Amino acid sequence: MLRAFPLIALSLIIQLQSLHSQTNEFNVNILKYQLADGTRYIDVCMEVPATYMDMQFVDSVWTSRVEITVIAEGTEGIVAFNKLILTSPSISDSTEAFVSTNIHIERLVLDAGVYTISTNLKTLDSEITQSEDITISLGDNPRVSDIMIVEAFKPSEEVIISSFTRSGYEMMPLVDTRISPFAYQLRFYAELYNIDQVVGLDSLFLMTFGFTNSSGVLSPHHTRHKRVSAKPIIPVFEILPVDELVPSADGGFLKIEVRSKTGEVIVEHLYPVARLEEETETLNDIPLLDFASRWTDIDKLYRHLEDHLPIASSSQQVTILNTLKASTDIAQLQGFLEQFWVKKSPTRPDVSWLNYAREVLVVDSVFGGCRSGHGADTDQGYVYLKYGRPNTIVEKHHGTDYYPYEIWHYHHTMGYTNRRFLFFAPHVVLECMEILQSDMPGEIHNEDWIEMLKSRENRLSVTTSQLNRLNPHDTNSREEPEDLYYNPR
């Protein structure tokens, strides 16, 4: 089961997403959809970095705010608009506040016609406007909606449907057509309209989706085919693999094509997608961002250094836990932080640090409830930071035969393939899961893990323990945890 890490709010703060291009730009993407009754509307998706907002520090917390105005202007003047104040959540850590990015979606209902959509940001001392011309089509012909590249999602739990809600999920859009050079998959959302009017209600048709080159030719290894039953509106929520070549840096398209049983093309839609190239400049070609100087509080800086323990070498861990812990010289801690990233990422230490800082925010949000808000101090946070986001996660939290447990599976990480981590909650507190078993070299390995997992007292006799070590478990055992561990879904 693939688990999405939580979204923070409806006007969302990006913590880190594998697709995100990290451009620190104000981006706008306008997506066109329609409702079952034929009503047309647009979603104006905005990505607003904190650097485009007014920062305030009140009562020991940071907040950022900006005035947003969205205007739809047709041939006869303004037909729709909305003005609002976008305010970030309160953030106690200054680093988190200044690197955060707000995602907001403003929805406008529009009739068929040609419009200019203007999005304006206004702070106390600056103002910026982006405009785009769009056309809302007339008629009930078969169509494909605009395509949303989904950066994060989770099942919707809200009674009130928001502009982030689609087909039972809250989805955070990637407000860009460029994806990270490190992304390994792309999930997207679109809607098909009026296909039933061509093939007949509930009749099957063929949907093809995949990546093309700049000439529009589909890549066979990055294309999927699916038979779908025709309805007036069909949501499409799918995933495609990406690699270092597809989509290319030169640009291509995400293509959705609908064909009838006889192979006739009913409708198709192309959405431009490109991959950002990895930075190749040398350190001497670019100025080093003095990111360590952001800290003026030595205690908070040391806490940030502790968050680096999962990726630090043995000697660096000793330095952090001993030398720097006792130091009262903030310049010494700042120097260590910068040199840490210069050694780890000589070409772009500032960007690598920023990416890792966002990862720390993820684990603090997801796992920090167990350790006073510090996810890096948890076993799951440690694994996430050291080995990256797992490809699949199996969650078994509510069984009666075993302690609550999770199995994380990595296709590739740290030069290894097909590696697993099994976490369990011996105290039945889900926020505090511990590593029970892993096949990753250097991590905890227990031959008796299946017995420990199903023992409520979490105790084994010496004889049983020795027998388990002499007789490793059959990987085709009927024990459910073993099946899920050795045969990940």
For 25-65, write each residue's pLDDT tens digit: 889 999 999 998 999 999 999 999 888 999 888 888 888 99
Give the confidence band of 428 by pLDDT, cuts at 50, 70, 90: low
pLDDT 10s digits, 338-386: 889 888 888 788 888 888 988 898 888 888 877 677 889 999 999 999 9
CATH number assigned to the domain with residue range 177-278, chosen from the 4 options 2.40.30.10, 3.30.450.40, 2.60.40.1250, 2.60.40.10:
2.60.40.10
* DSSP, res 339: H
Reference 365, options 18, 5, 101; nearest CA is 5
CB burial string 145-160: b at 16+ within 10 A, e below: bbbbbbbbbeebeeee
How far out from the chain centre does Cα 72 lie?
30
1-137 folds as: Immunoglobulin-like (2.60.40)
Give the confidence band of 429 by pLDDT, cuts at 50, 70, 90: low
Give the confidence band of 460 by pLDDT, cuts at 50, 70, 90: very low
Reference 31, options 142, 174, 139; nearest CA is 174
**Which residues, in sequence order, are bridge partners of residue 485?**
none
Asked if the domains at 1-137 and 177-278 fall in one CATH topology, the answer is yes
Q: What residue ranges do the domains of the chain occupy?
A: 1-137, 177-278, 283-383, 391-486
Alpha helices (runs of H) in 101-225, residue ranges in sequence order: 196-199
How far out from the chain centre does Cα 178 lie?
15
pLDDT 10s digits, 255-296: 999 999 999 999 999 999 988 776 544 333 434 456 787 788
From CA 180, how far away is CA 173, in angstroms rounded? 14
* Burial class of 173 by CB neighbour count within 10 A (0 to 12, 13 to 18, 19+): buried
Predicted TM-score (pTM) of the model is 0.59
